[in-house]
Amino acid sequence: MAAQKQTVLIIGGTGAQGTPVVKELSKSNNYFIKVLTRSPSSASALTLSNLPNVTLISGDGYNEKDLHSAFIDISIAFVNLNGFAIGEKAELYWGIRIFEIAAEHGVKHFIWASLDSSYQISSYEPRFRTGHFEGKSKVADWISAQKMGDGAMKWSVLTSCMYLETFSEMLAPAKEMVDGEEVVVFKAPVGNGMPPMIYLEDLGKYARWLVEYPEKSNGLNLKIATANVGWEEVAKSFTEVTGKKAVFKDISLEEYFASGVFGDADRKVGHSVGHEDDTLMTYRENFSGFWNTWREDVLKRSKKDYELLDEILPERVQSVGEWMKLTGYTGERTNVLKDYADAGRKKPQ
Ligand SMILES: NC(=O)c1ccc[n+]([C@@H]2O[C@H](COP(=O)([O-])OP(=O)(O)OC[C@H]3O[C@@H](n4cnc5c(N)ncnc54)[C@H](OP(=O)(O)O)[C@@H]3O)[C@@H](O)[C@H]2O)c1
Q: What is the pLDDT of residues 82-138, one digit of tens each?
A: 999 999 999 999 999 999 999 999 999 999 999 999 999 999 999 999 999 999 999
- Fold classified for 163-195+227-297+318-342: UDP-galactose 4-epimerase; domain 1 (3.90.25)
- The atom of ligand 1 lying closest to the CA of 11 is 43
Name the closest-CA residue to atom 5, ligand 1.
162
Mean pLDDT of the chain: 96
pLDDT single digits (tens) 199-228: 999 999 999 999 999 999 999 999 999 999
* CA contacts within 13 A on the Cβ side of 78: 32
**Domain edges within the chain:** 6-162+197-223, 163-195+227-297+318-342
Is there an atom of ligand 1 within 6 Å of 85 CB?
A: yes
Average pLDDT of the residues in 290-297? 98
Q: How far is the CA of 239 from the centre of ligand 1 (A)?
A: 32
Q: Is the pLDDT of residue 77 over 70?
A: yes
Q: What is the pLDDT of residue 297?
A: 97
pLDDT band of 2, cuts 50, 70, 90: low
pLDDT at residue 57 tops 80: yes
- 249 pLDDT exceeds 90? yes
Q: Which CATH superfamily is domain 6-162+197-223 in?
A: NAD(P)-binding Rossmann-like Domain (3.40.50.720)
Mean pLDDT of 257-263: 93
- pTM for this entry: 0.97
Percentages (nearest 5) of helix, strand, coil residues in the chain: 40, 20, 40
Dihedral sign (CA 264, 269, 270, 275)? negative
pLDDT of residue 4: 86
Q: How far is the CA of 178 from the centre of ligand 1 (A)?
A: 38
Instruction: Say what the pLDDT of residue 348 is.
Output: 38
Percent of the chain with pLDDT over 70: 98
pLDDT score for 349: 32
Atom of ligand 1 nearest to the CA of 337: 19
- What local confidence, expressed as pLDDT, does residue 3 receive? 72
Question: Is the CB of 162 within 6 Å of ligand 1?
Answer: yes
Please provide residue 33's backbone torsions phi and psi, each rounded to the nearest 5 degrees. -120, 125
Is residue 289 predicted with pLDDT exceeding 70? yes
Nearest to 67 by CA among 109, 97, 90: 97
In the reported structure, the alpha carbon of residue 80 is separated from the centroid of ligand 1 by a whole-number distance in angstroms of: 7
Determine phi and psi for 181, rounding to 5 degrees: -120, 140
Counts for the chain of helices (H) and strands (E), in that order: 14, 13
Q: Is the CB of 338 under 6 A from ligand 1?
A: yes
Asked whether the predicted pLDDT for residue 59 surpasses 70, the reply is: yes
Model pLDDT, residue 347? 40
47 lines ligand 1 (CB under 6 A): no
Is the Cβ atom of 80 under 6 angstroms away from ligand 1?
yes
Distance 86 CA to ligand 1 centre (A): 10
335 close to ligand 1 (CB < 6 Angstrom): no
Which ligand 1 atom sits nearest the alpha carbon of residue 340?
20
Is residue 286 lining ligand 1, measured as CB closer than 6 Å?
Answer: no
The closest-lying atom of ligand 1 relative to the alpha carbon of residue 44 is 40
pLDDT above 90: residue 1 = no
Separation of 16 CA from ligand 1 center, angstroms?
Answer: 7
For residue 45 and ligand 1, the question of a CB distance below 6 A is answered with yes
Q: CA-to-CA distance for 223 and 202, rounded, in angstroms?
A: 13
Distance CA 340, CA 212 (A): 32
Residue 261 confidence (pLDDT) above 50: yes
